[in-house]
Amino acid sequence: MNKLKGYLSDDMHITPHLTVAEYACRCGCELGRHGADIVWEIVNDWEEIRRRGGDYPFNLSGCRCETHNAEVGGAADSAHLRRSALDTMPVGGWIAYKKATGHTRQDFVKICEDIIQDGGVGSKKYGDNGLVHIDRDRKLIAINPFRRW
């Protein structure tokens, strides 16, 4: 992917399946809205996950500033704070995703695990209908390169 520079408007696409609005902090601050903010490992992984998992719209949550992270109950040392994580949930839920793509939530998690060999994939703590977290956080990789929960 090309490196984007300068301020990025919310409607810009970082990749074909990821907009600035989806990647940037939801509180409206500047985090994730500058080309230098982008962590390309997670962005490129998301694009590959979408290629393998079907062209279906997702609700995404990427970067979080400390204030927004606290408001949503994020972990104190969350990868979202370092712009290297995405929480994913298909629009309409996992049943709609399966009807459209033929993939179950478990299939989607397996695709994520196959692609993210050095990073985190979290799905179990969110329940069968919950979100799937993916990250390529270098700080957490240094502690445990293959995190699954």
Contact of 89 with 117, CB cutoff 8 Å: no
* Stronger pLDDT, 67 or 124, i.e. the higher one: 67
What sign for the dihedral angle of Cα 49, 104, 81, 14? positive
**Residue 58 pLDDT:** 95
- Amino acid identity of residue 30, one-letter, is E
34 DSSP β-pair partners:
7
CA 38 – CA 32 distance, rounded (Å): 6
pLDDT value at residue 14? 95
| pLDDT confidence band for 93 (50 / 70 / 90) | very high
Give me the mean pLDDT over the 43-69 stretch: 96
What's the rounded Cα separation, in Å, for the pair 1 and 8? 15
**pLDDT score at 129:** 83
Cα distances from 27 to residues 14, 34, 43, 70, 143, in angstroms, run 19, 15, 20, 11, 29
Contact between residue 76 and residue 87 where contact means Cβ atoms under 8 Å apart: no
CA atoms within 13 A on the CB side of 37: 23
CATH 3.30.43.10 is the classification of domain 13-148: no
Instruction: Give the C-alpha separation, 75 to 139, whole Å.
Output: 14
Q: Is residue 115 scored above 70 in pLDDT?
A: yes
Report the C-alpha gap between 66 and 70 in whole angstroms: 6
pLDDT of residue 101: 96
Whether pLDDT at 2 is above 60: no
Mean pLDDT of the chain: 94
1 pLDDT above the threshold of 60: no
Confidence (pLDDT) at 56: 94
50, pLDDT greater than 90? yes
- pLDDT higher than threshold 90 for residue 124: no
Average pLDDT in the 93-117 region? 96
% of the chain surpassing 70 pLDDT:
99
Structural contact between residues 102 and 54, judged by C-beta atoms closer than 8 angstroms: yes
